[in-house]
């Protein structure tokens, strides 16, 4: 067997094995999207209820609360980046990190100091490689986020927010995550978490035009104290779930195109190897014919 | 008019249905809610929420770290770790 032919056969085999792996990963991701999407949907009632309650509390209370009032001067802002633990998901992690970078540039242009909180190994690796400071990082289980982790992250952020800026606290918190739009589209999204900009969820208007006057138990400030960390936590948990669902969808898409590319490579190399084999045979025939001629004329 | 009650935890909706009475423990004491109650936003203390369904059956759910909102006969019990303790016993 000729050297050229052997090389082509090696390449075909290598493309075939790669395809087996990417195909398997594609199928695994596809089967997990369903579940991740269900979790996003299942957490919907909670975040809707929390958002509605926070809206009500913020709208009907006159109490000046640290979490709802805009500080006069914002010295330091925190950016929370939701990435994944594993790669092979196309532009999934690149997108959030780039979006966060743009946000950081914008904040710095406004004269704010920026600190980073990271979730997922990929963002941590990006920051470590560039030797950029990380305030705090969490990793593990980004594909299947637990509410307890959201609680911990929320607590950390609220604590840091309550601190005075002169003592190292932050005045503003932004989150950057991939929002799951559909199987084909995931959009990196930037949301300012604190101070609150409450957007009333997609509530059907009309039926209840007049919002009721609320009774607070205990007093307004106490309700806000208890409610806002819960709200932050629910937003963070939602971002984690969206990010997980987006990751699976991105992986599926990336692995699908990898499998398709492997298919194309296999076809191309098969053609080339057929060509090489034919050329080898032609050469052998002409050698034999040439040899026979030489013998006959001798 | 019956109350529309839903109990939700961070991960899913635990229970929803119609009821005639909801009793919960807030930080300053027990609160009982019947149809026509004024809108309330209350922080719950650790404990259980007892929901009496329209047919008299009792649903008990544990709610920790949560709050309760009442608005136009819609009662929402929201807690990070809400769980159904028992369902469908006849109340004595």
Residue A104 has φ and ψ, to the nearest 5°, of -60, -45
CATH number at residue A37: 3.40.1380.10
pLDDT of residue A201: 47
pLDDT of residue A206: 42
Of B6, B40, B81, the CB nearest to A215: B40
Q: Residue A192 domain-assigned?
A: yes
Is the CB of A208 inside 8 Å of chain B's CB atoms? yes
Residues on chain A touching B66 (C-beta within 8 angstroms): 230
pLDDT at B91 over 60: no
A239 Cα distance to chain centroid:
9
Q: Could you tell me the residue range of the domain that residue A228 belongs to?
A: 26-199+216-253
Flag residues of chain A having pLDDT under 50. Answer: 201-209
Instruction: Tell me the sheet residues that pair with B90.
Output: B57
Alpha-carbon distance A79 to nearest alpha carbon in chain B (angstroms):
24
Closest CA to A24 of A263, A252, A266: A252
Q: Mind listing the domains of chain B with CATH numbers?
A: 3-86 (2.60.15.10)
Q: Residue A209 domain-assigned?
A: no
Region label for A127, one of left (φ > 0), alpha (ψ between -120 and 50) or beta (otherwise) = alpha
- What would the DSSP string read from start to end of B16-70? EEEEEEEEEEETTEEEEE-TTPPPEEEEBPSEEEEEEETTSEEEEEEEEEEEEEE
Residues on chain A touching B15 (C-beta within 8 angstroms): none
Domain match, A19 and A159 both: no
Q: What is the mean pLDDT of residues B47-75?
A: 85
| Total structural domains within chain A | 2
Q: Residue A298 domain-assigned?
A: no
ipTM beyond 0.90? no
CATH number at residue A282: 1.10.287
Q: Do A218 and B28 touch (CB under 8 A)?
A: yes
pTM score, whole prediction: 0.83
Q: Residue A135 domain-assigned?
A: yes
Residue B77 has φ and ψ, to the nearest 5°, of -105, 120
Q: Residue A208 domain-assigned?
A: no
Closest residue, chain A, to B9 (C-alpha): A46
Length of chain A counted residue by residue: 298
Give tens-digit pLDDT for A187-245. Answer: 999 988 877 765 554 444 444 445 557 777 777 777 877 888 888 888 899 999 999 99
Domain match, A18 and A34 both: no
Domain match, A164 and A220 both: yes
pLDDT at B92 over 60: no
């Amino acid at each position: 067997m000729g050297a050229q032919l052997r090389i082509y056969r090696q390449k075909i085999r290598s493309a075939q094995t790669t395809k087996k792996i990417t195909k398997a990963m594609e199928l695994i991701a596809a089967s997990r999207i369903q579940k991740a999407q269900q979790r996003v949907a299942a957490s919907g009632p909670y975040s809707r209820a929390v958002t509605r309650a926070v809206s009500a509390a913020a709208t009907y209370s006159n109490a000046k609360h640290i979490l709802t009032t805009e500080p006069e001067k914002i010295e330091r802002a925190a950016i929370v980046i939701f990435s994944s633990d594993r790669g092979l998901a196309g532009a999934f992690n690149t997108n959030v990190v780039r979006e966060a970078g743009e946000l950081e540039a914008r904040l710095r242009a406004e004269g704010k100091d920026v600190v980073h909180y990271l979730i997922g190994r990929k963002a941590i690796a990006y920051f470590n490689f560039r030797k950029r400071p990380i305030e705090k990082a969490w990793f593990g289980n980004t594909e299947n986020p637990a509410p307890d982790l959201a609680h911990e992250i929320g607590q950390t952020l609220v604590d840091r927010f309550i601190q005075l800026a002169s003592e190292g606290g932050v005045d503003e918190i932004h989150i950057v995550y991939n929002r799951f739009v559909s199987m084909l589209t995931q959009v990196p999204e930037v949301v300012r978490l604190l101070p609150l900009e409450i957007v009333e969820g997609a509530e059907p208007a009309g039926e209840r035009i007049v919002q009721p006057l609320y009774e607070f138990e205990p007093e307004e400030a106490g309700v806000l104290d208890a409610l806002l960390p819960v709200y932050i936590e629910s937003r963070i948990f939602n971002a984690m779930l969206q990010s997980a669902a987006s990751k699976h969808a991105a992986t599926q898409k990336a692995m699908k195109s990898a499998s398709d590319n492997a298919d194309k490579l296999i076809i191309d190399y098969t053609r080339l190897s057929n060509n090489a084999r034919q050329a080898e045979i032609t050469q052998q025939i002409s050698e034999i014919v040439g040899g026979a001629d030489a013998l006959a004329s001798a | 008019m019956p109350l529309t009650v839903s109990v939700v935890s961070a991960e899913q909706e635990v229970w929803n249905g119609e009821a005639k009475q909801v009793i919960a423990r807030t930080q300053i004491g027990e609160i009982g809610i019947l149809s026509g109650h004024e809108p309330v936003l209350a922080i719950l203390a650790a404990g259980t929420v007892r929901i009496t369904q329209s047919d008299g059956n009792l649903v008990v759910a544990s709610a920790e770290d949560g709050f309760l909102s009442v608005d136009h006969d819609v009662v929402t019990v929201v807690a990070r770790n809400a769980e159904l303790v028992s369902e469908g016993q006849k109340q004595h």
